Structure 1
Amino acid sequence: MKSLIKFILVILALQSFYASSIGIVVVANTDNTDLNIGKRQVRDIFMRSSSEFTLKPLVLKPNSEARLIFNTKVVGLTESRIQSYWAQMQFGGRKKPPTEIESPYAMLEYFKNNKDTVTYLPAHIKIPQGLTVIYRVD
């Protein structure tokens, strides 16, 4: 039993290390190709707290590793806290959560055909021409 617990702990540690080593890029489909913003501004866009930018955020489904990394390193909240936030916002009629897309590749297809949108993707995915990387998470 002790060896099983040790094995599980090692697997969890490796997953944590692997997740923290994957880079994320925040990409915008906008005519403003010089757009380069900071972490706080990215967080505000995705939490719909920003009136400075009119970009519509798109997010990956909750089971996505990229979403886990983005939420942890940029938003600074766990998935359950984010879900709770959006439930409160919707119940109060104040804000709607970002549109969820199934996979990074489905995201690219939807994203490249919809102007003034913003999303995050794993850094290893090739970003098509015409889209602008506005922030990087290493």
Structure 2
Amino acid sequence: MYRFFIICMVSLLAVVGKDALADELVVVTHPQSSIGELSRQQASHIFLGRLRQLPSGERVTVVDVEPLRAVFYERLVGRNLAEINAYWARLQFSGRTQPPLRVASAQEAIEMVLDSRSAIAFVRADQLDPRARVVMRLGP
């Protein structure tokens, strides 16, 4: 009976751990990017267009993954997607900046990050490519 209990607990922990990984979002960059570890404030400045250049002087390329946008911005800045869209509409209308590039999948975002040192994107932790560098984690 004790052995059965231990097996059940280990199985449960394995499932819960996998689900937690699927819920965690990570911000990723090219492995040789000049972007280092980011604080929540720094990440929000980048993803909301307030910081447009990297320390190296390169223009940062922000990539949004369409299916994850709502969750990402809710976790990062506590705003829903309608508020984020309104924010970008105001900035675009004023001519100050353009919203991030949008891609349909995490795979596309990772490919863009791996192709450009100045690109930054977010994906679910379980979709992470080991060649990309994680600069921030956003838990559930």
Instruction: State the TM-score bracket (shorter-chain normalisation).
Output: 0.7 to 0.9
Secondary structure of the equivalent of 1:48? coil
Sort the Cα spacing of 1:22 and 1:35 in 2 relative to 1 into closer, same or farther, 3 A: same
Gaps of 5+ in 2: 1-18
Deviations 1:81-111 (A, max 9, x none): 1111111111110110000011111222232
Question: Is 1:97 aligned with 2:111?
Answer: no
Distance 2:82 2:71 in 1: 14
Identity %: 23
Q: Which residue of 2 aligns with 1:27?
A: 28
Q: Which residue of 2 aligns with 1:86?
A: 88
Sort the Cα spacing of 1:34 and 1:44 in 2 relative to 1 into closer, same or farther, 3 A: closer
Q: How far off is 1:115 after superposition?
A: 2.0
Q: How far off is 1:51 after superposition?
A: 5.2
> What is the aligned-residue RMSD (CA, Å)?
2.3
Question: Is 1:119 aligned with 2:124?
Answer: no
Q: Who wins on radius of gyration, i.e. which is larger?
A: 2
The list of structure 1 runs, each at least 4 consecutive aligned residues, that deviate by more than 6 angstroms after superposition, is none
Gaps of 5+ in 1: 1-17
Deviations 1:21-64 (A, max 9, x none): 71000001252478111001001000011256343210012xx1
TM-score (norm 2): 0.73
Sort the Cα spacing of 1:68 and 1:85 in 2 relative to 1 into closer, same or farther, 3 A: same
Secondary structure of the equivalent of 1:124? helix
Distance 2:102 2:120 in 1: 12
Distance 1:36 1:101 in 2: 24
Q: How many correspondences in the alignment?
A: 116
